[in-house]
Amino acid sequence: MTQDETNARLVGVSLDEKSLSHLHPDLEREKRIDIHDLLESNQFSPVASYPGGYTGPFQLRMRVTASLVLFDILNKDGDPLETIELPGAGLNAAVRDYISVCESYFAMANTGNAHQIETIDMARRAIHNEAADALMEQLAPRLAIDLYTARRLFRLICLLELRG
């Protein structure tokens, strides 16, 4: 791995905790797993608006307002570099669909009907992949990420949308 590849990554991720104060314990566990998995493997490189760009690795703080998903990008020491504002409307349908199918999946998981669980899981994965592709496309002018990173970031956006 080259020095550039080593630096084009996240070493810290946090979510707006005041928005997440009422997360169900299962969702809190999912959040911890997603952040852990994201930090284990990710590609994350802001496209800076000045020559030379930013030097990573980076930290990311994620927030959601009524109409925006905000990505606060910080250097490894926690100093702010920039905030990327992503219109929430571009992901709203995918977030609603993903949350709905996940609720169905978890409800069905308790019934033991393997065929229905598999069908719902296939739909969940399809929505997840489509949403990750859309997220990558929307962020492309400002942020270079891979599909794995986009998938994890999308799940974290969904958790922020479930805020108390």
The model's pLDDT over 152-161, given as tens digits with 9 standing for 90+, comes to 999 999 888 8
Binning pLDDT at 50, 70 and 90, where does residue 15 land? very high
DSSP one-letter string for the chain:
--HHHHHSSEEEEEE-GGGGTT--HHHHHHHHHHHHHHHHS--EEE--SSTT---S-EEEEEEE-SSEEEEEEEETTS-EEEEEEEEGGGTHHHHHHHHHHHHHHHHHHTTT-HHHHHHHHHHHHHHHHHHHHHHHHHHTTTEEE-HHHHHHHHHHHHHHHT--
Q: Calculate the average pLDDT of the chain.
A: 85
- What is the rounded average pLDDT of the residues 57-61? 96
Q: What is the mean pLDDT of residues 93-98?
A: 87
Domain count, the chain: 1
- The parent domain of residue 10 ranges over 3-161
Instruction: Look at residue 153 in the predicted model and tell me its pLDDT.
Output: 96
pLDDT mean over 23-42: 88
Task: Give the residue, 3 or 118, on which the prediction is more confident.
Answer: 118
